[in-house]
Amino acid sequence: MQFMLMSYVQEDGWNQLTNEQKKQGMAAYIAYTEALTKAGAFKMGQRLGPSAEASTVRLKDGKAQILDGPYADAKEQLGGFFIIDVANRDEAMQWAAKCPAVGHGVVEVRELPAW
C-alpha cells in the first residue's frame, strides 16, 4: 500500500535556525530517508518551495484564473512530502511518527489508493 506523508511546518522557522541547527536538521531528514530506503519503503520525497511562490489555477466561465500565494493565514504550511510503500496503515503511521517534521510540525498521512 502506498501512502503520502505530508509535512506541515512553519516556513519561517528554517530561517530562524543557526547554521549548526540547519546542519542537524538536514542530517535528520537524510537519516530518515536512508532508513526508509533501507527498509524498502521509500518511493520518493521532496521539499517544496515557499507557499508565497505557489499559485492556484481555477476555471471560471471556462477561463483559467490564477491566484498567487500565500492562500491562508495558517501557522503551518505544506513543506514537503514522502511517498512510501508499506504493508498497511499502521506501518505508515509508524514511519510518520519517525519523520523529523513531527518535532517541529505535523505529518499528515494519506493512502494513495490504486485506481
pLDDT score recorded for residue 73:
65
Q: List the CATH code of the domain at 2-111.
A: 3.30.70.1060
Between CA 23 and CA 27 the distance in angstroms is 6
- pLDDT tens, position by position, 58-107: 999 999 999 887 666 677 889 999 999 999 999 999 999 999 999 999 99
Domain residue spans of the chain? 2-111
- pLDDT tens, position by position, 22-49: 999 999 999 999 999 999 999 999 999 9
pTM: 0.88
Alpha helices in 1-110 (DSSP H): 19-38, 89-98
What are phi and psi for residue 43, nearest 5 degrees? -110, -50
pLDDT score recorded for residue 113:
94
